A and B are shown apart, each in its own frame.
Chain A
Amino acid sequence: MQDYINQFSPYQIIVPFLALIMIMKAVSRFRRSEQTWRELITWVLVWGAVGFFALFPEISDKFANFVGIKSGANAIITAALVILFYVVFKILVMTENLEGKITKLNRSMALYRFFKKEESHFDEKEVNHNQSHD
């Protein structure tokens, strides 16, 4: 057993352990409905991959060979960059959409208030007009 554990470097034990904690945290947040399905799946996949590649670094080398990158570490960093770019782009789209929604809400409220005021001005004028005729 001791020999078996000695095969692992500290990195191979700490990182998967950390990944496991992160996944557990995500699950508990999801259970408390603080997270959506999509967030949970993304979190589990990302941390799952981190833990998995830390535990089995030779697999990342195979993956690197497969995609034509020199070493496993490089392949992971490249993949992480691609994912990060995607996430940043997603966030950008989300903030744009949010800005659009806030604009729509704000403009509709302004227009609603304006026409309501105009309407009451018109009513007032009509009342005054009718009163002067009476």
Chain B
Amino acid sequence: MKLAIIIPAYNEEKVIGHVVQNLPKKLEGISDIQIIVVNDGSQDKTSRVAEEAGALVISHFINLGAGAATQTGFDAAVTLGVDIIATFDGDGQHHSEDIQKLIQPIVEQRVDVVSGSRFLRKQKIPAMRRLFNGVGNLITYLLSGIWMTDSQTGMRAFSREAVEQMEIHVNGYEFCSEIVREISYLNLRYTEIPIRVTYNTYTKKKGQNFATGLQTVTKLAIRSLMR
């Protein structure tokens, strides 16, 4: 089985090289690993650093958002003919050791989607992030009917068939909730597994904050009204 690890990245030159180099070179049940960094219109050297670290790099001309970058990664991975597609954050908050656990249920063909959850194990997570995630979970539940302990996670794995069926139309962080809605709509088999995260000053600056959170909620609400 072939695996593609997609890393959406926007202005991550400081950490992206380290993130790419730290990813596993071999995994059980996987014959080939492709690392795809989707450089989402970065103004820094993200693209070059990622390429030098050994990743395949796709560059958006302008910044579109994490959702759009992930979609581009999905399209590339499907065209490259991989069987499993995993997403991984570019800011270094995820641990590469968790990838084996993440893809295992798909390798064993038990499920179509595996979601890595930061909240299924005890670990240090800033209160603001916990609160934000709680709100995100609630909104996602209202829109999809699925309760996830970590609806806003950036670490997920999908079977190729699942990715081919999913239709994501949003560009920003609201794609996290859209994925859950698609899981529900397409009746995909899914599971959550606990993952580790590291929050430092760098990762805290990245990702969703209160302002982008509000934006995400507004966009999701408008989207559901317009459907």
A in complex with B? yes
**Interface flag for B226 (CB, 8 Å):** yes
A 93-123 binary contact with B (CB < 8 Å = 1; else 0): 1001001101100110111011100100000
Question: Which residues of A have CB within 8 Å of B57?
Answer: 114
Pick the contact of A106: B56, B62, B76 (CB < 8 A): B62
Q: Give min CB distance, A107 to chain B, whole Å.
A: 5
**Interface flag for B216 (CB, 8 Å):** no
Cβ-defined contact, A107 with B64, below 8 A:
yes
Q: Give min CB distance, B68 to chain A, whole Å.
A: 5
Question: Which residues of A have CB within 8 Å of B226?
Answer: 93, 96
Cβ-defined contact, A110 with B79, below 8 A:
no
Which of A92, A93, A102, A111 has the most C-beta atoms of chain B within 10 angstroms of its own C-beta? A111
Q: Give min CB distance, B21 to chain A, whole Å.
A: 21
B 47-81 binary contact with A (CB < 8 Å = 1; else 0): 00000000011111110100010011001100100
Task: A17 to B121: give the CA distance in the assembly, Å.
Answer: 72
Task: A118 to B34: give the CA distance in the assembly, Å.
Answer: 13
Question: Which residues of A have CB within 8 Å of B222?
Answer: 92, 96
Q: Give min CB distance, B19 to chain A, whole Å.
A: 19
- Residues A99 and B171 in contact in the complex (CB < 8 Å), given A107-B68, A111-B72, A118-B56: yes
Write the chain A residue with the least CB distance to B64: A103
Cβ-defined contact, B75 with A107, below 8 A:
yes
**Interface flag for B169 (CB, 8 Å):** yes
Task: A73 to B172: give the CA distance in the assembly, Å.
Answer: 43
Cβ-defined contact, B79 with A107, below 8 A:
no
Pick the contact of A107: B56, B72, B169 (CB < 8 A): B72
Question: Which residues of B have CB within 8 Å of A118?
Answer: 56
Cβ-defined contact, B76 with A111, below 8 A:
yes
Question: Which residues of B have CB within 8 Å of A92?
Answer: 222
Task: A93 to B79: give the CA distance in the assembly, Å.
Answer: 31
Pick the contact of A110: B56, B58, B169, B171 (CB < 8 A): B58
Write the chain A residue with the least CB distance to B222: A92
Cβ-defined contact, B169 with A106, below 8 A:
no
Task: A111 to B61: give the CA distance in the assembly, Å.
Answer: 11
- Residues A106 and B61 in contact in the complex (CB < 8 Å), given A92-B222, A111-B76: yes
Task: A113 to B79: give the CA distance in the assembly, Å.
Answer: 14
Question: Which residues of B have CB within 8 Å of A107?
Answer: 60, 64, 68, 71-72, 75
Cβ-defined contact, B64 with A106, below 8 A:
yes
Q: Give min CB distance, B73 to chain A, whole Å.
A: 10
Cβ-defined contact, A114 with B58, below 8 A:
yes
Task: A96 to B58: give the CA distance in the assembly, Å.
Answer: 24
Q: List 14 A-B contacts (CB under 8 A).
A: A92-B222, A96-B222, A100-B169, A103-B68, A106-B60, A106-B61, A107-B68, A110-B59, A110-B60, A110-B72, A111-B58, A111-B75, A111-B76, A114-B58
Q: A103-B68, A113-B58, A114-B57 are in contact. List 9 more A-B contacts (CB 8 A).
A: A96-B226, A100-B169, A103-B171, A106-B60, A106-B68, A107-B71, A109-B61, A110-B60, A111-B72
Please give me the 9 A-B residue pairs with the lowest Cβ-Cβ distance, nearest first.
A114-B58, A107-B72, A110-B60, A110-B58, A103-B68, A106-B60, A103-B64, A106-B61, A103-B171
